[in-house]
């Protein structure tokens, strides 16, 4: 059994504030059209394409950490029409704490609903870790508004549920509800027309000991073709171009 720490998504504190922030930032987030390609949740939490996102670390981090972090996120920036600026102080859209035992993040515009002194992303990984880059890419994927791929409605993973509960409790202390929310229960409430993508950076590693003994997903460490396609569709070069919304 491999031991990379699983990520969990931070839910919004206030659902209505979450919705209002999402549609104020980017009115296309409100789409609930059946053909909306990203409707894994009830509404999207994508930033306005072309916008600048300020990132601030809540603690002092070394310049080598910032360099490694910046290097990692270039893989998203190459394909998503967004600008990232790391600011030393002042207001920031994404606040990162490295004083953490977990890797986790809010989804996209939910960050707008948290106070400026509150972290919107937690990183326990450091540049010396083998999976630093892939962990940063995964957490930044959440910060861009993307959800867990293994919870895609079409994933139909043949989980051995009892083993899954046991594994996450014994290794990470997760209770049943946390496992249900982060591992076992597919997103509902919307039609998805993006293909399920086993290679997505947003997919958990799945050990075959937790499934029917055959089905498994290895550790995804780079953006998949469909991740790149998603970045291009959700943050298109022309901000008025919204191919993910069927109007």
> Kind and range of the H or E element at 125?
none
Q: Which is nearer to Zn ion, 7 or 72 (CB)?
A: 7
Which residues would be at the binding site for Zn ion (CB under 5 A)?
7
Cβ at position 3, least distance to Zn ion in Å: 17
Give min distance, CB of 8 to Zn ion, in A: 7
Laid out side by side, the sheet with 94-97 consists of: 8-9, 104-105, 121-122, 94-97, 52-57, 83-86
Cβ proximity to Zn ion, 68 vs 183, nearer residue: 183
> If we measure between CA atoms, which residue out of 143, 74, 133 comes closest to residue 104?
143
Rounded least distance, CB 138 to Zn ion, Å: 5
Nearest residue to Zn ion by CB is 7
Residue number with CB closer to Zn ion (7 or 21):
7
CB of 117 to Zn ion, least distance (A): 23
- Compute the distance between CA of residue 67 and CA of residue 19 in angstroms, rounded to an integer: 34
Q: Is 117 left (phi over 0), alpha (psi -120 to 50) or beta?
A: alpha
CB atoms < 10 A from the CB of 20, how many? Answer: 14
Closer to Zn ion by Cβ: residue 21 or 137? 137
């Amino acid at each position: 059994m491999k031991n990379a720490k699983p990520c969990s998504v931070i839910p919004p504190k206030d659902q209505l504030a979450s919705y209002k922030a999402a549609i104020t930032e980017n009115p296309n987030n409100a789409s609930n059209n059946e053909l909306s390609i990203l409707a894994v949740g009830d509404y999207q939490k994508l930033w306005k394409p072309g916008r600048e996102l300020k990132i601030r670390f809540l603690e002092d981090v070394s310049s080598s950490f910032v360099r490694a972090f910046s290097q990692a996120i270039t893989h998203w920036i190459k394909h998503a029409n967004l600008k990232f600026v790391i600011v030393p102080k002042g207001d920031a859209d994404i606040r990162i704490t490295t004083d953490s035992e977990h890797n986790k993040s809010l989804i996209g515009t939910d960050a707008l609903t948290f106070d400026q002194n509150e972290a919107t992303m937690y990183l326990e990984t450091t540049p010396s870790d083998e999976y630093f880059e892939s962990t940063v890419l995964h957490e930044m994927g959440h910060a861009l508004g993307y959800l867990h791929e293994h919870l895609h409605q079409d994933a139909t993973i043949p989980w051995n549920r009892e083993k899954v509960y046991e594994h996450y409790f014994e290794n990470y202390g997760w209770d049943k509800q946390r496992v249900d929310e982060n591992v076992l229960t597919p997103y509902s409430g919307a039609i998805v027309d993006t293909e399920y993508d086993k290679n997505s950076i947003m997919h958990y590693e799945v050990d075959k000991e937790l499934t029917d003994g055959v089905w498994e997903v290895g550790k995804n460490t780079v953006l998949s073709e469909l991740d790149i396609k998603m970045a291009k569709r959700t943050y298109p070069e022309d901000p008025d171009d919204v191919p993910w919304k069927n109007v």
